[in-house]
Amino acid sequence: MKKVERINVIMRYINNRAHFTISEIMHEFNISRSTAIRDIREIEAMGMPLVAEVGRDGGYSVMNNSVLPTVRFTDNEIKALFIAFMATRNLQLPYLKSRHSLAEKLLGLISQNQQDDLVLLNRILLFEGTNPHNPDLLDLSDLPHPMLEQLIQILLEDRYLMVAVEEGRAIKHYPIYLLRLYREKSSWQIEGFDLSEEKRRIIPVDHLADVEPCPEKKRLSPKKIAERLSTKEEAFNLVLELGPKAIAQFKKYHPLKMTISYTNPFQTTAILKTFLNIHHPGELAEITNWLLFLGADIKVREIPKEVVEGLQERASVFGK
């Protein structure tokens, strides 16, 4: 049991008893005497009104049979929560209105001194994507696409979806089994298995017009979907060996679908294998820029000629 969880359970344990001892806590939670004493002291520091009873049979009791106090946070816990909220601003996260009300409640729970500390943090800390002219934690300017929360609510019950997607002036419907919902380059994406065409499909959440559970008759079992995916995986057409400098660059940024495998115990060399869709101009341009970002500490085993042509074109621009 983790410490935070253990302390919460201990608080409820002792709140239901008129009297308890350190030995009882040790036996009940299988912890040492020193750990039990530290936990009791932390519980007292959080505001639970305990009275120590001296003597051979001494122990502790809850003052006047008090009920469990309102949740209290230490100064560092308040700062940790506040900074976590700050770091998620302008990311188009779902449930933003709920985060807004949660932040208001937290601010209402803390002391004036703690509020003053947070005001100062709000002035001096800026995260990527934060608007320096309006860094207000309670600002709702980064509301995500309205379909995102509806999508997540459905996913909690069912991963088989019928999605309506805006494609130009038309709306197309795709029955999919959702594999992942992820955020990349400031945009939420659905990666799913198209149950009709039996292939992977990436759908931007911004393009969704509607989403609902998929009809039963169109569904395949997860096992069959896994089998279809394994047989339809494209062959790798980009294979790179990475040295330590290229690995460092890879860790700074890489396309979401790409991973590397280390080839020595010291993790100073690695290999990257992936499939590039050479018929997608946007993906080719992105990969060209990213390969230049990796730098010269790479060795090419296999690469599409279209990517080579893109690199040569970029090199010719710099050579002029």
Q: Is the pLDDT of residue 15 over 70?
A: yes
Are 166 and 214 within one domain? Answer: yes
Residue 130 forms part of a structural domain: no
Are 152 and 228 within one domain? Answer: yes
Query: Do 186 and 134 touch, CB atoms closer than 8 A?
Result: no
Residue 189 forms part of a structural domain: yes
Res 175: pLDDT: 95
Beta strand pairing call for 238-242 and 270-274: antiparallel
Are 305 and 254 within one domain? Answer: yes
Residue 134 forms part of a structural domain: no
Are 151 and 209 within one domain? Answer: yes
Choose between 53 and 274: higher pLDDT.
274
Res 64: pLDDT: 61
Tell me: the pLDDT tens digits for 164-220? 999 888 999 999 999 989 887 678 889 899 999 988 888 999 999 999 999 998 899
CATH code of 7's domain: 1.10.10.10
Mean pLDDT of the chain: 83
Q: Is the pLDDT of residue 65 over 60?
A: no
Phi and psi at residue 161, to the nearest 5°: -125, 150
Residue 242 forms part of a structural domain: yes
Cβ neighbours for 55, distance < 8 A, ≥ 6 positions apart: none
Q: Is the pLDDT of residue 299 over 80?
A: yes
Q: Is the pLDDT of residue 69 over 60?
A: no
Query: Do 86 and 130 touch, CB atoms closer than 8 A?
Result: yes
Task: Answer with the one of 47, 65, 83 that is the final residue of a domain.
Answer: 65
How many CB atoms lie under 10 A from the CB of residue 300? 13
Are 209 and 280 within one domain? Answer: no
Give the separation between CA 92 and CA 235, rounded to whole angstroms. Answer: 35
Res 169: pLDDT: 86
Q: Largest Cα–Cα distance in the chain?
A: 90
Determine the structural domain holding residue 258 and report its residue range.
238-319
Residue 143: HSE in the Cβ half-sphere, 13 Å Cα cutoff:
8
Q: Is 42 left (phi over 0), alpha (psi -120 to 50) or beta?
A: alpha
Are 9 and 53 within one domain? Answer: yes
Residue 19: band (very low, low, confident or very high) from pLDDT cuts 50, 70, 90 = confident
Are 84 and 59 within one domain? Answer: no
Tell me: the pLDDT tens digits for 229-251? 877 655 688 899 999 999 999 98
Distance, C-alpha 318 to centroid of its chain? 38
Give the separation between CA 315 and CA 24, rounded to whole angstroms. Answer: 74
Task: Answer with the one of 29, 45, 65 that is the final residue of a domain.
Answer: 65
Tell me: the pLDDT tens digits for 217-234? 889 999 999 888 877 655
Residue 70 forms part of a structural domain: no
Residue 141 forms part of a structural domain: no
Residue 274 forms part of a structural domain: yes
Query: Do 185 and 198 touch, CB atoms closer than 8 A?
Result: no
Query: Do 49 and 64 touch, CB atoms closer than 8 A?
Result: yes
Residue 285: band (very low, low, confident or very high) from pLDDT cuts 50, 70, 90 = confident
Give the separation between CA 295 and CA 287, rounded to whole angstroms. Answer: 13
Res 210: pLDDT: 94
Res 92: pLDDT: 78
Domain count, the chain: 4
Are 243 and 307 within one domain? Answer: yes
Tell me: the pLDDT tens digits for 125-147? 877 666 666 656 566 666 778 88
pTM for this entry: 0.54
Measured N-to-C along each axis, helices 22-29 and 33-45 cross at an angle, to the nearest 10 degrees, of: 110
Task: Answer with the one of 192, 208, 232 that is the final residue of a domain.
Answer: 232
Are 253 and 228 within one domain? Answer: no
Give the separation between CA 254 and CA 268, rounded to whole angstroms. Answer: 17
Cβ neighbours for 309, distance < 8 A, ≥ 6 positions apart: none
Region 50-56: what's the mean pLDDT?
A: 71
Q: Is the pLDDT of residue 13 over 90?
A: no
Are 116 and 174 within one domain? Answer: no
Are 247 and 307 within one domain? Answer: yes
Residue 29 forms part of a structural domain: yes
Are 244 and 206 within one domain? Answer: no
